[in-house]
Amino acid sequence: MRPFQYTRPDSLTHASQLSGDDGAMLIAGATNLVDLMKLQVETPDHLVDVNPLGMAEIEDTDDGGLRIGALATNTATANHARVRSDYPVLARAILAGATQQLRNRATMGGNLCQRTRCYYFTKPEQPCNKREPGSGCGAIDGIARLHAVLGTSDQCIATYPGDMAVALSALGATVQIASADGGERSVSVRDFHLLPGDTPWRDNVLQPGEVIIAVMLPPPVEGRQSYRKVRERSSYAFALVSVAAIVAMEGDTIARADLAFGGLAHKPWHDPRLSDLLTGKAPSAALFDEAADLLLQEARGYGENDFKIPLARRTLAAVLAEATETEI
Ligand code: SF4
């Protein structure tokens, strides 16, 4: 590991100012960044440790939603009484990720900012446009089993690896962000992560000096919530495909269908056309097929990950069938 400066700022403003400098990076739970530093994938000159800043409260909001501080651990969030009762899709998604030890350290903000687990990204001797712009993408003609089938570019086909943000996307959460000039902004979690395009080194919309301060959940809605994660083994593995769903029925028709997908793209994938298609219709195998057609219209496999396209279709159908109690 290379030498670096380490600072524990005593205010949010100080943290923002320090982290805006070239070569500076924020650190919270240290469950991803330290691994990447050991591999020489990340080589910050200055680590700004935000742990002294508090920001770990989980509290009700005036509109009936929930504010989860950026430094609330994944364990604290998944175990929180209101998360378990009103936002079970979030609790389930968090508990489907990593291990208990990692969840005890990992934070809301850090989880959102975790980096891809692409094999080439973590090997400095391999080509990777995300790690070293212009060096090429080893995965496109190489090891691509975990890689994306939606929203890819000829620069990068990596997936966003997390589970928690997939549930947050289905819930329509927003991310509260502070900047170095003392201002704040809110970004929908659906817009927080970026597609690779021509700038695959950018994972999300954060600018230098910006610090995530909280995640805001809207008031809870009616409906069954579920998170289904398909992976190579039953624990400590990233999603091949995952589906977060909030589905409500009114009589024999679907009254609400908020869906988001993991394992398919460089960001949690949310396609508002699915909700439009499903809402107001009677659930059936044919309707679920139509939804999968829409979801996967632009899907493209890269050899090793071709299987994800039919897997996403089947996983979506299974989730919708369970939520609507429909035989398929
Ligand atoms: Fe790098 Fe993205 Fe290609 Fe992986 S898929 S090698 S992260 S550019």
Q: Are 262 and 272 in contact (CB under 8 A)?
A: no
Residue 100 lies in a domain: no
Predicted local distance difference test score (pLDDT) of residue 180:
83
Number of domains in the chain: 1
For residue 200 and ligand 1, the question of a CB distance below 6 A is answered with: yes
The two structure tokens encoding residue 230: 């398909």
For residue 247 and ligand 1, the question of a CB distance below 6 A is answered with: no
For residue 227 and ligand 1, the question of a CB distance below 6 A is answered with: no
For residue 128 and ligand 1, the question of a CB distance below 6 A is answered with: yes
Residue 55 lies in a domain: no
Predicted local distance difference test score (pLDDT) of residue 1:
64
Predicted local distance difference test score (pLDDT) of residue 162:
97
The model carries a pTM of 0.98
For residue 118 and ligand 1, the question of a CB distance below 6 A is answered with: yes
**Residue 130 amino acid letter:** K
Residue 263 lies in a domain: yes
Neighbour-count burial for 225-247, b at 16+ CB within 10 Å, e otherwise: bbbbbbbeeeeeebbbbbbbbbb
For ligand 1, the distance from its centroid to the CA atom of residue 154, given in whole angstroms, is 10
Non-local (6+) Cβ contacts of 310 within 8 A are none
Residue 89 lies in a domain: no
Q: Are 315 and 243 in contact (CB under 8 A)?
A: yes
Residue bearing the CA closest to ligand 1, atom 1: 128
Residue 317 lies in a domain: yes
Reading the chain (328 residues) residue by residue, the pLDDT tens digits are 689 999 999 999 999 999 999 999 999 999 999 999 999 999 999 999 999 999 999 999 999 999 999 999 999 999 999 999 999 999 999 999 999 999 999 999 999 999 999 999 999 999 999 999 999 999 999 999 999 999 999 999 999 999 999 999 999 999 999 998 889 999 999 999 999 999 999 999 999 999 999 999 999 999 999 999 999 998 899 999 999 999 999 999 999 999 999 999 999 999 999 999 999 999 999 999 999 999 999 999 999 999 999 999 999 999 999 999 999 9
For residue 139 and ligand 1, the question of a CB distance below 6 A is answered with: yes
For residue 129 and ligand 1, the question of a CB distance below 6 A is answered with: yes
Residue 229 lies in a domain: yes
Atom of ligand 1 nearest to the CA of 147: 5
Domain residues for the domain of 261 are 224-324
For ligand 1, the distance from its centroid to the CA atom of residue 140, given in whole angstroms, is 8
Q: Are 93 and 87 in contact (CB under 8 A)?
A: no
Q: Tell me how long the chain is.
A: 328
For residue 130 and ligand 1, the question of a CB distance below 6 A is answered with: yes
SS (H, E, C) the chain: CCCCEEECCCCHHHHHHHHCCCCEEEECCCCCHHHHHHCCCCCCCEEEECHHHCCCCEEECCCCCEEEECCCEHHHHHHCHHHHHHCHHHHHHHHCCCCHHHHHHCEHHHHHCCCCCCCCCCCCCCCECCCCCCCCECCCCCCCCCCCCCCCCCCCCCCCCCCHHHHHHHHCCEEEEECCCCCEEEEEHHHHECCCCCCCCCCECCCCCCEEEEEEECCCCCCEEEEEEEECCCCCCCEEEEEEEEEEEECCEEEEEEEEEECCCCCCECCHHHHHHHCCCCCCHHHHHHHHHHHCCCCCCCCCCCCHHHHHHHHHHHHHHHHHCCCC
Residue 291 lies in a domain: yes
What's the CATH number where 271 sits? Answer: 3.30.390.50
Predicted local distance difference test score (pLDDT) of residue 2:
87
Best residue for ligand 1 mutational test, from 36, 131, 132, 137 (most atoms within 8 Å of Cβ): 137
For residue 157 and ligand 1, the question of a CB distance below 6 A is answered with: yes
Predicted local distance difference test score (pLDDT) of residue 230:
98
Residue 140 lies in a domain: no
